[in-house]
Structure 1
Amino acid sequence: MLIQSRPRFQKTTTLLPPWEICLYVILSIASHLYSFYEVHKVSQEYEEELGREFEFEKGFFIWGFKKDPTDFEWSFWMDWGKRHLAWYFLCHVFISLVTKTLIPKFRVVFLMLYGVFVCFFLLGVRGLAMVLLHMMISFSVALLRKPLLCWLCSLMLLYTLHLPFFEEIQRSWYKTENEYYLLLFSLAMCCLRYTSFSLEYCWQQTGQRSSLQCFFAYLFYYPLFHNGPIITYKEFISQIQKEKTSSTKITFGIIVWTIARIFTWWLLAECMIHFLYIHAILSNEALLEVVSFWALGGLALAQVLFFYVKYLVLYGIPSLIVRIDGLEPPELPRCVSTMHSFTGMWR
């Protein structure tokens, strides 16, 4: 007699009734808005005190709200974006489309050379030499085909960025702190790409080869050079070498819609640092002791939501350019208010 075995654990899904879902949505939106209102009241009440301490900037809204500039990452990339990066991204798109139409066989080479040129222009001769030095050290270690050595090499190169001796030397190359930090961020992101290439080189079969030219193309692919998002070497090369990318073609309508979404995210982030001085308040310990519990909850919630919106912009622009190039970028972060775990946030 045969007895059919049943799985020990069966996954069952039960949908909530519509009225209950609507109730949760209303309560969630109401709690968000009220907690943000409490933070806004604190921001306006202590605006002068916080403005003197953290040197608030003049905002762009016509009714006179000041801007909280204490989130270094947002201020740093917005400053570089307005001055240089936006124009270099547009030039990359132009070169990519022209070479794809006229000389598709040399498209990757031209994109690589363009990335080297921009790196030279923004980081200078010494900055470019530092990137190339790290690259050659990592490539030389990868030739040994020992993953452990590759990891140790990447950690060593990353550790050198924090040595006071090297910091002083690299700072002396530039006139401003922002120029030095651009080099620092670029080297840190390049370290992830060194590691990805080295590990793939160690894991590949003996008959396969990863050329130095492919490594250059991967490292100096400009939309992802300074800040990400991260695409592994294997994914990048497998996509960039495809002769047909019909599955990843992007239409003009999608481009316009994506630009509109990115602009909306940027505007939302700017509204948050104009109406809610969350970063300045969190840096003032005395103020945190006197605000209400609703305000404290609103500060915590606004912090993670601003982090989320910030990376929608910082990763959204390069991801759009990657899609225009015919590649498939990683998915953007998910909204933290709809997650029970931060796994999707940090992927």
Structure 2
Amino acid sequence: MWLIAFQPVRLPVYRSTMGIKAALPRYELYLYTAVLAGALIWAGSWIFDASIDNVSRKAFKESVKPGWHYFGRKMDVADFEWMMWFSTFRNHILFALTGHVIFAKILTLVAPKHRSLIFGVYGGLSVLVTMGWTFMGLVLSHCIILYSVAMVKRKWMCFAAGLASLASIKLEPYNSWQESLVTGSFDLQDILFYGGCGFSIMRCMSFALENCEKKDGNYTFCDLLKYNFYLPFFFFGPIMTFDRYHAQVNNTKLIRKEREMWNITTKALLHLGVILVVDVFFHYLYILTIPSDMKLVTKLSDWCLAGLAYSNLVYDWVKAAVMFGVINTVATLDHLDPPQPPKCITMLYVFAETHFDRGINDWLCKYVYDYIGGDHDKIPKELLATICTFAVTTLWLGPCEVVYIWSFFNCFGLNFELWVAKLFSIPPFSTIEGAMGEAMSRRIRGVFNAANFWAIVLYNVLSLNSLGFAKLVGRRLIFKGFPLSSLSVLLVTYCGVQLVKERERQKALQEDAELVKEKAE
């Protein structure tokens, strides 16, 4: 069940931008693009063949079901979360969110000063109708406890109470006892139970910590309820910290930005298009089912394994982007500025930017990582900050063996980047890098970034599939596949990293140009 709330979280850390001004030569740009495209097609062909040849395997029967009949192929339905969102839960969420948009829009026009109350009342009634009185009472009990602690205005007490409340729904036997209190039974009850309780506790902690910062008096219990029961964020997030939500929802100057409605409509159509594309791919590439059959996986080629590991991470990003994108679209219609969707996994080559849920990421940065780490320039403080951050993350995800391993390696990767950056910022390494020029520095860093990218893939694929699959991929690509497979995959990844760096360079130049233009005006 913890996979429902699985949100990999990494945090910003010192990152050198040396070499960002070095433009990529045009011939290299074309060469890297061709190599990357060819490798993706090559790996995809291996996965396609494995999907066709093994569709009748006994291990595939439960997760490969009849799909759209005019494709003439079965569909990979191994990811119950995707199937839940776009089949079982689709009608429920569309009905609830449509009602929220219509109800909120009408009453906002009538009474814009009370729109936060309107949002809270509609959300509370929706939760009550969906989950019943006992669930509502359970959530309110957590709210009352954390609100009472917030009145003391001691951050350590707020943290202690919040983490204890979070542990009560993540650890046995306390979580089973609370779940047993919720009467009734329907397909989504346990999913909504843990999602609603977990996010409610994190929001209550944000409220309590922000109340500690408030110099004049306290926020009211009504403020907490209005914040917590905002329906689009209630069950599945993202988490918007209380200070941001409170400021935005109480803003009475409801003015749309230029082309904002056009952008909202475009994003909504884009999300619909992505959903259709993913469903089509599921008919031809069984990227979720194949890794679960270890007997089959051991027989696959190195390129097929690399493609499966990479595609699983890309798919997980797509799923998170669509889920949060739909919710954020509704929040934007309510004149809010919600946390942005995750950055594409293909664009990542450092642990410091790898986060799938920016809401959780912002929460952890604000209340744990930045609070302990300060300017993130001192190694001991940085180590303590990351350990504390991933300890909270482990509790949030639900402690178990896979989560422990995932947290350890990602915490190590984040710190290792800082150690390496520190090492190469001192002589003689900094002197050597300065003498070799920006272009060569960019290429050397690209090699290390390519290796780092695959470390990110391997560290995270164990949570998406299994520990056994991650170990097999690592063993085949690093040891058994050396040197041919190892260096080939590294070369392809290097090409992708260089293309990403070039895109970042162009984006940085564009932002600089816009800044100069604004100053001139």
TM-score (norm 2): 0.61
Give the CA deviation at 1:53: 4.3
Q: CA deviation at 1:113?
A: 0.6
Report the equivalent of 1:192.
202
Aligned residue number for residue 439 of structure 2 = none
> Which amino acid is 2:326 matched to?
I
Distance 2:195 2:318 in 1: 20
Separation in 1, partners of 2:206, 2:99: 27
Superposition CA RMSD, Å: 2.1
Distance across 2 between alignment mates of 1:48 and 1:154: 49
Could you tell me which residue of structure 2 aligns to residue 228 of structure 1? 237
Could you say if the C-alpha distance between residues 338 and 25 of structure 1 is closer, same or farther in structure 2, counting changes exceeding 3 Å?
A: farther
AA aligned to 2:110 is L
Structure-2 separation of matches of 1:292 and 1:136:
56
SS at match of 2:224: helix
Q: Which residue of 2 is the match for residue 18 of structure 1?
A: 26
Which residue of 251, 272, 279 maps to 1:263? 272
The answer to whether structure 1 residue 281 and structure 2 residue 287 are counterparts is: no
Give secondary structure in 2 for the equivalent of 1:20: helix
1:18-37 superposed Cα distances (whole Å, 9 cap, x missing partner):
22112212221221222122
Higher mean displacement: 287-296 or 238-247: 238-247
What's the counterpart of residue 162 of structure 2? 154
- Counterpart selection for 2:67 from 33, 36, 59: 59
Alpha-carbon shift at residue 268 of structure 1 (Å): 2.6
Q: For residues 99 and 333 of structure 2, what CA distance do their matches in structure 1 show?
A: 13
1:333 lines up with 2:342 in the alignment? yes
Moved more, 333-342 or 56-65: 56-65
One-letter amino acid matched to 2:134: R
Question: Shift of the alpha carbon at 1:321?
Answer: 0.7
Alpha carbons of structure 1 residues 250 and 215: separation in structure 2 relative to 1, 3 Å: farther
The separation in 1 between residues aligned to 2:131 and 2:257, in whole angstroms, is 32
Among 216, 234, 239, the alignment partner of 2:248 is 239
Cα distance change on mapping 1:286 and 1:261 into 2, 3 Å: same
**Structure 2, gaps ≥5 residues long:** 1-15, 359-521
- 2:364 corresponds in structure 1 to none
For 1:165 and 1:319, how far apart are their aligned partners in 2? 33
CA contact (8 A) 2:233 2:239 kept: yes
* Alignment of 1:135 onto 2:143: yes
Specify whether residues 58 and 164 from structure 1 end up closer, same or farther in structure 2 by C-alpha distance, changes over 3 A only.
farther
What is the distance in 1 between the residues matched to 2:329 and 2:297?
39
Distance 2:89 2:74 in 1: 21
- Of the three residues 293, 307, 315, the one matched with 2:316 is 307
Confirm or deny: 8 A CA contact 1:54 1:280 kept in the other structure.
no
Judge which range, 167-176 or 100-109, deviates more. Answer: 167-176
Contact kept in structure 2, 1:174 and 1:180, CA below 8 Å: no
2:253 alignment partner, SS class:
coil
1:70 maps to 78
Q: Could you tell me the percent identity over the aligned residues? A: 24
Cα deviation digits, residues 61-87 of structure 1 (max 9, x gap): 522222222223222333453130111
For 1:153-192, list aligned pairs within 5 A: 153-161=161-169, 162-164=171-173, 166-167=175-176, 170-171=179-180, 173-176=183-186, 178-192=188-202
Per the alignment, residue 98 of structure 1 pairs with 106
Q: Separation in 2 of the partners of 1:278 and 1:174?
A: 36
Q: State whether residues 59 and 66 of structure 1, in contact with CA within 8 Å, keep that contact through their aligned partners in structure 2.
A: yes
Q: CA deviation at 1:221?
A: 0.6
Matched AA of 2:231:
Y
Q: Among residues 211, 229, 232, which one is paired with 1:201 in the alignment? A: 211
Q: 1:165 to 1:109 in 2, by over 3 A?
A: closer
How far 1:16 moved relative to its partner?
0.8
In the aligned structure 1, how far is the partner of 2:178 from the partner of 2:265?
Answer: 44
- Distance in 2 (CA, whole Å) between partners of 1:91 and 1:133 is 27
Matched, 1:118 2:123: no
